[in-house]
Chains A and B, each alone.
Chain A
Amino acid sequence: MTTRSRLSACGVSRRDMLRIGAGGLGFGLFGGIGPVPYVFSRASEVVAEAASNKILVVFEWFGGNDGLNTIVPYGDPMYYKHRPTIGIKEKDVLKIDAHFGWQKSMRGMKTLYDEGKVAIVQGVGYGQPSFSHFTSMSFWHTAAPNSGNEYGWIGRTASALDPAGTRENMIVNIAESQTLAVKAEKHVPLVFIDPARFKRGTFAQEHAPLEALSAQTVPVGDAHKYVLEVTRSAAQASEVVRTAWSNYKGKDNPDLRLLDLDKVVALIEADFPTKLYYVPLRNSLFDTHVNQAAPHDRQLEYCSDAIAGFFREMKRIGRADDVVMYVHSEFGRRVPENTSLGTDHGTAQVNFVIGDPVKGGMYGTPPSLTDLVLDGNLENTTDFRQVYASLVEGWMGADSTKVLGQKFQTLGMFRA
């Protein structure tokens, strides 16, 4: 095993490695991270060697984000016709060009955009769209519109990257309960929301018998098999997560408002082996049926600040070249405002792909505000699976047809 592969296999951070240098390999090396978690010691040499450093973070904006009040088409008079009351005034827009601008509270993402690190993808959706939060999100989770799949697209991406399923903790899901997108055939996603609670509380004398908890080798059925597997992985995973979290200084910094992205930073900083992070937004205010101006403004500011803070952290820990974030919702909202100063469930939405490796700019065709479809809705001009294919293939380097079942035109959003 090479020094490099052993280090990443053990979860020692790259900064530690750089600081100490290859010659410094020894006991002191592990001082920063506590006991070496044996969870990584099983990762095979070959896999560790072949693995790239690339990471994908999906930040899901559940609730149905109003794309038109996010990337505002202030240059189109039709926009104000449809939205006489809740349309964002030109003076409140952070302008991109003569036609579009960011919603005024999104200074964080605007700055990243100006640095050329944000791809804005317009008109993202699918045919015969569902207007249900849960149905539509399940289509996005499974990448199977008007259909379904037992596994999620992130779960299938894990399978494409590691067909044997030997790499542990490939997927981390920062959520109260497992998101359908991460459901995988062979990989058990690590799902947690609060690292402090992610710990088995035991009395000292119980340690020995607890080792025997999952001794059963003949499960009586599928549910039993599943609970046994999770019992085994839980013991290992909880320790490394808590160590990473306690080592992460950013959690005490009041200027960093990272929402749940703080856990992702902590794990990346600890050189966790995870390739795929999935973070659904909690306590979402995006379902803006009623009086939407203030809550939408606030929600976008929270999210935009969190994303900007996240990438500041990536830069600080030297991983800005390795991480791409993808932002999507389950649908956009109807173009005309409703009678409650809000907007109802709609169709095509705006997506963001963010990071240093991204070629910033506008992608996809902005849907017309004149030729609306399906009772006042935006036409879907970019199939969301094109964005998925771009991420899976163009960024993660996996075969997107294995994930999506067919070939989709990619958008070319990444620097060579």
Chain B
Amino acid sequence: MTGRVRWSPGPATWKDDLAPISASDWNYDRAAHLLAHAGFSGTPAEIEQLADAGLERAVRSLVHYESIPNPKMQPFVESGLWDPTLNAFPESRPDATDRALKHGMSMGVENKPAGSRPVQPSSDRFFYWLRATMLETRRLGYWWANRMLQTQHPLEEKMALLWHGHFATHENKVRDYRKMMQQIDLFEKYATGNIRDLAIQVAQNPAMLYFLDAQYNVKGAANENFAREVMELFTMGVGNYSEKDVREAARAFTGWYFDNLTFKVDPDKHDDGPKTFLGKTGNLDGVDALKIIFQQPVTAEYLAGRIYRFLVREELSQDLKKRLGTVLRDNDYQVKPLLMVIFSSRDFYSSASYGAHIKGPVEHFVSMMKQLGVDAIPGVPDFNQSTIAMGQHLLNPPSVAGWAGGKAWITPGLLIARGNVARDVLIPDMTGFRDWNFSAGTDDVLGRRLRDGYDIGAATAVNDPSKMSTFDMVAMERDEQFNTRISGYIGWEQAARKLIPTPRNAAQFDLTRMVLESGSKTTVEAVDYLMWRMLRVPAATATRDAFVTFLTKELGTDNIDRAKTYMEDPLRLTVHLIMSTPEYQIV
């Protein structure tokens, strides 16, 4: 095991120094540090390649990736759940059924002319799409995670993930996986491009327009939701504009809306009058307002700081933030030059930036796959359930503020979840696994009752009517027109009939081969090799010794050659232990 370069952070004096490190400062460990931050870590072979390329070429290959072939990127294959009658989808079930009561139909389905529950088709139809878009969004999350894993442009996906959490919308409210897909495309396209252009695109993106209530922002009745968030969260940060600026910007954005997947402006609803926004006066529209925002020095600092904290470390001095902002502004909001500076800098390789980044759950999951040498996101465990358990639901950030990140990723519960996900990846529960896409959850009981011959009223009744709460009473009253509870179940069934199943295979990797190829002869060497491969921050000797003792006991020998025919699962448990260490959570 000699010659393996160990943990080698640069001196603390490099902190906040944006000058590039010299060629002689470059080595395997620094390349590993780079790949862990500019991407999702990698195998020793991938790190070796960067180390051999030298600093400049290594950083350049990550930042200027366009010319690198990326053969595994495939378009998302849709299940075919949507059709045009679902355009302008109702905002709620009452909205859907009220429409049906008023017009005799909604979402392409008519009311029954006679018989009980005449509006049931619309109620079912509403829940069909609710379930359909949720289920397809889970597939979309899988597709994106596979891109993160299989791409030859890791920084592109890493930055797309940043923008998703920065210009945050969630499918829960947007209720249209197609609009979420449009966003992923947008975030990849502008991943390291011009942020001003990206912000304009985002402002005209149907998911965002819907998410921040653009349809209610009209001349004479401005809705301030988007105007406020665009400044507070997307560009400037609180305290750099007045409430009047918010109102004026809202007027500038009036009349912006979307039809299906296309951005539109309604001139009748746009307030074309003069506005004074951040000190500039004119008949401003939304693009003008965004351009004014990007003229503010604070915008460059805010965004440069956001990028830095996402990629490098939470702690960022005002002074360094200002200098990073200057780099961004001097390059007219092009991100690539800023990334070149950050990833070449002494600050990035200083001890202050080593082990200072807590991996986000999606980043963490993809990194696990990379380090294990897995070439596709497994079906067992489920990627979405795994990352949700660790605190990040891809395509469903908790609010427009995105994910808090940093220390917020780690609480006792979330830390435990990380260990459990590692266990489920290493020792997947193939026989116990249940595909949640094909379970209506607590509504499964309704399906059983219907198949057992109960009518809808009986199937949806609570067991003891005397225990009925006010809610159930209300639901019963509405039963004359439709039964919303059974719709929740039927919608799931109808969506699941069309849904393309997610393959439920285990992650494919071979730790036995990995350890044999490392040349490890003893359990000490095997544990040292695996820890070196997985960890960026060294664990305590006592931790390593406990893992060696464990592996030796499991194998019945400390001799790797003797144990090579049966050591796969013991090695997997050892990696589970390594991935459960505090050190594995940070890079």
Contact = CB atoms under 8 A, between A and B. Distances in A.
B401 A223 contact: no
A222 B411 contact: no
B13 interface: no
A221 B411 contact: no
B105 interface: no
A403 to B, nearest CB: 22
Given A132-B228, A221-B356, A198 B413 contact: yes
Interface in B486-507: none
A188 B576 CA distance: 25
Given A197-B413, A198-B413, A222 B549 contact: no
Contacts of B467: 254-255
Contact of A216 (B417, B424, B543, B545): B543
B582 A209 contact: no
Interface SS, A side:
loop
Contact of A215 (B224, B233, B417, B540): B540
B355 interface: yes
Contacts of A199: 416, 420
Contact of B401 (A134, A200, A228): A134
A291 B92 contact: yes
Which of B9, B399, B577 has the most A CB atoms < 10 Å from its CB? B577
Contacts of B585: 227
Nearest to B470: A301
Contact of A223 (B228, B356, B469, B550): B356
B583 A224 contact: yes
B314 A339 contact: no
Interface in B203-236: 213, 216, 221, 223-225, 228-229, 232-233
B416 A227 contact: no
Contacts of A305: 469
Interface in A324-365: 338-340, 344-345
B554 interface: yes
B410 interface: yes
Interface in B288-315: 313-315
A212 interface: yes
A289 B213 contact: yes
A238 B550 contact: no
A387 interface: no
A193 B391 CA distance: 11
Q: How large is the interface on B (under 10, 10 to 19, 20 to 34, 35 or more residues)?
A: 35 or more
A302 B352 CA distance: 48
Contacts of A257: 469
A220 B410 contact: no
A339 B254 CA distance: 15
B375 interface: no
Interface in A206-238: 206, 208-217, 220-224, 226-228, 230-231, 233-234, 237-238
A212 B413 contact: no
Most chain B C-beta atoms within 10 Å of own C-beta, residue among A199, A212, A228, A255 = A212
Counting chain B CB atoms within 10 Å of each CB, the highest count among A130, A178, A205, A291 belongs to A178
Contacts of A301: 470-471
B415 interface: yes
Given A132-B238, A205-B554, A220-B351, 11 more contacts: A193-B413, A203-B573, A206-B550, A209-B547, A210-B580, A224-B586, A257-B469, A289-B223, A291-B92, A291-B94, A339-B221
19 contacts: A132-B229, A134-B399, A190-B411, A191-B412, A203-B573, A206-B573, A206-B577, A208-B549, A209-B547, A212-B545, A222-B315, A222-B356, A224-B355, A227-B358, A254-B467, A294-B94, A301-B470, A338-B221, A339-B221
Interface of A: 105, 130-135, 176-178, 188-193, 197-203, 205-206, 208-217, 220-224, 226-228, 230-231, 233-234, 237-238, 254-255, 257, 289-291, 294-295, 298, 301, 305, 338-340, 344-345, 374
